[in-house]
């Protein structure tokens, strides 16, 4: 329960930072750092919600990375426009512009999550 509380606090903190970045930041902070943080936010959110431990330590960060890539490729496909999504907040959350740099940012952001999972769960599984 204590770990879930820590992850919950981190989730709220990261969400606050993401909101501030979205409202006030420009340049590389908004374009790249926000994307690095968003996958970490998704990781801490998943750890807050799910106390279940996957059988393999790398499953959760890998799933978050795949999810992030899918959302990015949906942007390439024009998801919001194809489905007539006009709500400004939803368009910001889903995104409307594909970028290879976003894929790189997601990959960089998920690395600390892989490392955390390895040291928290991977070493426990080994013995």
Contact 64, 39 (CB under 8 A): yes
The stretches of the chain forming alpha helices (DSSP H) are: 2-24, 27-28, 34-49, 59-77, 79-82, 88-94, 100-117, 123-126
Total tally of structural domains belonging to the chain: 1
pTM score, whole prediction? 0.89
Query: What three-state secondary structure class fits 99?
Result: coil
21-47 per-position pLDDT tens digit: 988 999 999 989 999 999 999 999 999
Mean pLDDT computed over every residue of the chain: 91
Q: At 1, is the pLDDT very low, low, confident or very high (cuts 50, 70, 90)?
A: confident
Query: And the tokens for 122?
Result: 């991977």
Range of the domain at 90: 2-126
Closest CA to 37 of 12, 61, 17, 65: 17
């Amino acid at each position: 329960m204590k770990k879930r509380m820590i992850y919950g606090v981190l989730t709220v903190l990261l969400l606050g930072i993401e909101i501030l970045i979205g409202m006030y930041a420009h340049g590389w902070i908004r374009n790249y750092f926000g994307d690095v943080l968003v996958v970490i936010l998704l990781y801490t959110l998943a750890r807050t919600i799910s106390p279940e431990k996957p059988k393999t330590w790398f499953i959760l960060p890998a799933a978050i990375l795949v999810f992030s890539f899918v959302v990015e490729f949906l942007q390439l496909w024009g998801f919001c426009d194809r489905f007539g999504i006009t709500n400004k907040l939803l368009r910001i959350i889903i995104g409307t512009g594909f970028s290879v740099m976003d894929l790189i940012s997601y990959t960089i952001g998920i690395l600390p999550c892989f490392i955390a999972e390895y040291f928290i769960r991977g070493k426990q599984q080994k013995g």
